[in-house]
Chain A
Amino acid sequence: MADKRRNIISQRATNIPPSGIRRFFDLSAGVPGIISLGVGEPDYVTPWHISEAAISSIKKGYTMYTSNYGLLELRQELSRHLNHRYKIDYDPKSEIIVTSGASEALDIAMRAVIDPGDEVIVGDPTYVAYIPCIIMPGGVPVTVPTTMDNDFELKASEIEKRITPKTKAVLLGNPNNPTGAVIEKDELLKIAKLVEKNDLAVISDEIYDRLVYDGEHTCFASLPGMKARTITCGGFSKSYAMTGWRVGYVAAIPNVIEAMMKVHQYIMMCAPIMSQIGAIEALKNGEDSVVEMVDDYNRRRRVIVNGLNDIGLECHMPKGAFYAFPSIKSTGLTSDEFAEKLLLEDHVVVVPGSVFGECGDGHIRCCYAVALPDIEEALKRIDRFVKKHSG
C-alpha cells in the first residue's frame, strides 16, 4: 500500500541538494582524539561583558518580543557602527532590520528580490547556504568560477560573461567562506559598474567584515550609487564570537526593507531579545575584544598557511575570514577522499572543498579559529598523512 501513498515532500525541497557537511559530522562521531579544523565558528566564547549584559537583562525581565524591526537602540548602534566604519548612512528607523543571524538576513533578502526563474550570479566556491537560499524562492543560481591563481577573487569580467536578460541579482560573499578571499575595492567598483549598467540588485553578505587581515574591508553599499541597489547582510556570530545567539541584520533602502519585513514578521517576528541586548553591548563596548581576537586569528593564519605550504599543500594567503583553503591536488586524491581518509586514519577533520562547489574540488577547508597547539598537532598529522599518500 505504501507505494500508492503520494510523496509528501515538495519538488522544491527535493531540489535542494543535501549538505555535504553533515556526512563528515556523522563520520567524525566517536573517532577518539580528534582535532577538528572543520568548524565554521570562533573558538572563543562570547566576551564576558556581552554575556553579562544579556544575563542581567533576563533577570530584569526582558523576555518579550521586540518590535519586528528589532530594538531601536540596536538599530541606532548598527547605524552608527556602519557609518563609522564604512561611511554609509542607514536610517535606524527605516533602513535596518535585526534578524536571527545573517542566515535569516540572506533568506529574507532572497525572498524579497527573487521571482521564479530569476537568475542570481554567485561565486564558486561558495558558502553552503547561498545556493539553497537562491533555489528556495524559485531562483536559478548561476555560478562564476574563482581559482587559486587569483586568490579566489571574484572578477567582474567573469560575472559579465554570465549576465543574461534573466539576471536579477549578484550575491557577494565578501570576505568569502570557504576561501578567505577578499574582493578588493577596485574590483568591487568594476562590479558596481556592471550592476548599474545591467540594472541588477546586489545581496552582499559581509558577515566576516571585521575579519580582514591585509588591507581594509569595503562595504559594497558604500560605493557610489550602490546603496539603492544593495542589501547588506551582516551579523555578530563571527566578529564577536556569538554564533549561538542567532542575531544579525539586514540594511537596505526603505522600500526594500519593507519587502523583507513582510517575510521577516511572519516567519520570525523578531530576533531573541536577550541576543539583541547582547548585540547592543557588543557594538558599544566590544571593540577591544574584536581587535584582540582578530590579532590572534592573524597569528594563527600565518602559522597554518606556512605549515600547509611546507607540507606541500599549496595554499594562498587568505586575506579574510578564518579559513585556509589549500590545494590537495598534489596527493592525487579527490577532496572527498582526502578528507575522509584523513579523518579515519589520522583523526583530523577538514571539510572537502567539493561541498562548496565545483571549483572547490581539489581543495580542503581548514578553519584556523582553533587553539594554536591544536593547529600545530593537526599540521603534524596532515604532514604524516600526505607523506603516506604520496609515496
Chain B
Amino acid sequence: MKNILKALEDDARTTPEKIATMTDKSVDEVKTVIAQAEKDGTIVRYKTVVNWAKAGEQEVDAIIEVKVQPQKNVGFEAIAEEIYRFPEVRSAYLASGTYDLALLVAGKTMQDIAAFVTNKLSPIDGVQGTATHFLMKRYKEDGVIYDDRGGIHRLTVTS
C-alpha cells in the first residue's frame, strides 16, 4: 500500500501496470488499492506542480496571518470556513502562536490580493486583524525544489 502511494506521489501519471511491476503485485491488486484509497480520501487529489513563472503567467502569492475572535461552541471552525471557502484562498491552516489562521492566497496582481484583504477578508465578523506577506521568490513547493541542482552533474561512467 505505502509503496503504491509513494509511486503515485512521485508521479501521479504512473499507470497501474507500471506500479504493479514496481511493487511486484498484480495489476488488479494495485487497481483495488488505488480505488479504495481514492474512495476513503487517502488519495486526496491528483495534482500537477506548475512553475507558472516559467509558463510566462503572472501570479502573485501572499501568506496572510489572520487573528480572529473564536466563537462560542464552534470555536474557530465557522470563521475558518467562511474564509477558506473563498477560491482565492489556496491553503488555510489553524496555527498556534501570535495569530490564528495562516492562509496562502493567490491572485494575478498585488492589487487583487489587496482587494481581497480589504473587501472580503477584513470585513468578516470576528476577524480582528490581518498581516499580509507577499511572496517574492519560490524556492521549494510541495517537496519540490525549483530549478534544483543546476550545474550538478554526475560523471557518466564510474566504477
Interface residues on A, range: 20 to 34
B158 touches A40 (CB 8 A): yes
B24, B152, B159 pick with most chain A CB within 10 angstroms: B159
B157 touches A39 (CB 8 A): yes
Interface residues on B, range: 10 to 19
B1-19, CB under 8 A of A: which get 1 and which 0? 0010011001100000010
Per a CB cutoff under 8 Å, which of B6, B21, B159 touches A303? B21
* Interface: A329 (CB within 8 A): no
B149 touches A38 (CB 8 A): no
List residues of chain B with CB within 8 A of the CB of A38. 156-158
Expressed in whole angstroms, the minimum distance between the Cβ of A62 and any Cβ of chain B is 25
The docked-state distance in angstroms from the alpha carbon of A177 to that of B158 is 12
B22 touches A36 (CB 8 A): no
List residues of chain B with CB within 8 A of the CB of A41. 154, 158
B65-96, CB under 8 A of A: which get 1 and which 0? 00000000000000000000000000000000
Expressed in whole angstroms, the minimum distance between the Cβ of A173 and any Cβ of chain B is 12
The docked-state distance in angstroms from the alpha carbon of A189 to that of B157 is 35
* Interface: A259 (CB within 8 A): no
* Interface: B53 (CB within 8 A): no
* Interface: B23 (CB within 8 A): yes
A24 touches B157 (CB 8 A): yes
A25 touches B21 (CB 8 A): no
List residues of A (1-51) whose CB comes within 8 Å of B's CBs.
19, 21-22, 24-25, 28-29, 34, 36, 38-41, 43, 45
A295 touches B3 (CB 8 A): yes
Per a CB cutoff under 8 Å, which of A43, A299, A372 touches B154? A43
B157 touches A306 (CB 8 A): no
A299 touches B158 (CB 8 A): no
List residues of chain A with CB within 8 A of the CB of B158. 21, 38-41
The docked-state distance in angstroms from the alpha carbon of A45 to that of B151 is 13
List residues of chain A with CB within 8 A of the CB of B11. 372-373
Expressed in whole angstroms, the minimum distance between the Cβ of B145 and any Cβ of chain A is 10
* Interface: B155 (CB within 8 A): yes
List residues of chain A with CB within 8 A of the CB of B155. 25, 39
The docked-state distance in angstroms from the alpha carbon of A306 to that of B21 is 7
List residues of chain A with CB within 8 A of the CB of B3. 295, 299
B21 touches A19 (CB 8 A): no
List residues of chain B with CB within 8 A of the CB of A43. 154
Query: Which B positions have Cβ atoms within 8 angstroms of A?
Result: 3, 6-7, 10-11, 18, 21-24, 149, 152, 154-159
**What are 20 A-B contacts defined by CB distance under 8 Å?**
A21-B158, A21-B159, A24-B156, A24-B157, A25-B155, A25-B157, A28-B157, A38-B156, A38-B158, A39-B156, A40-B159, A45-B149, A128-B159, A129-B159, A299-B6, A299-B23, A302-B22, A302-B23, A306-B21, A349-B156
Query: Which A positions have Cβ atoms within 8 angstroms of B?
Result: 19, 21-22, 24-25, 28-29, 34, 36, 38-41, 43, 45, 127-129, 177, 295-296, 299-300, 302-303, 306, 349, 351, 372-373
Q: A22-B157, A24-B156, A39-B156 are in contact. List 7 more A-B contacts (CB 8 A).
A: A39-B158, A295-B6, A299-B3, A299-B7, A300-B22, A303-B18, A303-B22
